[in-house]
Amino acid sequence: MPDVFTTRVLNVVSGSSESVVDLTRDCEAFLREAAAGRDGLLNLFVPHATAGIAVIETGAGSDDDLLAALHTLLPADDRWQHRHGSPGHGRDHVLPALVPPHATFPVLGGRLELGTWQSVCLVDTNVDNPHRQVRLSFLG
């Protein structure tokens, strides 16, 4: 049975435009304290109906490609039943079905185990709400 469960809320300002926010360094900083060299699992959860967590390469255009793909799959127009806020906001409420609001990662020796080009990111297409919370939880 695990010895440690630690959780913390990370406050993120995603801005007034659609964004992919890299949280990898925040996760690593949390694990330095919470995991303290132990093995376990890191879980991220976004308690919002219009944002999600993705594992993607950042800085080489993939984050912009993800937003472009989401525009293709979920156009910001008037087709959506859910209608309040910015035009096309209903699509933001469909986003978590494609980019889930949670992810769990292995932690070995207190370090996040990601592939060479993988980053942990918040995906936020809701321009009406630039303030997000992400709950980081370590179980080890």
Which tokens belong to 25? 């360094």
The pLDDT value given to residue 83:
80
In order of their start, the domains of the chain are 5-139 (2.60.120.460)
Predicted confidence band of residue 86 (pLDDT cuts 50, 70, 90): confident
* Reported pTM: 0.93
The pLDDT value given to residue 85:
79
pLDDT exceeds 70 at position 1: no
pLDDT tens figures, 51-84: 999 999 998 999 999 999 999 999 989 898 888 8
Report DSSP letters for 120-133, one per residue: EEEEE--TT--EEE
| Residue 12, strand partner residues | 132
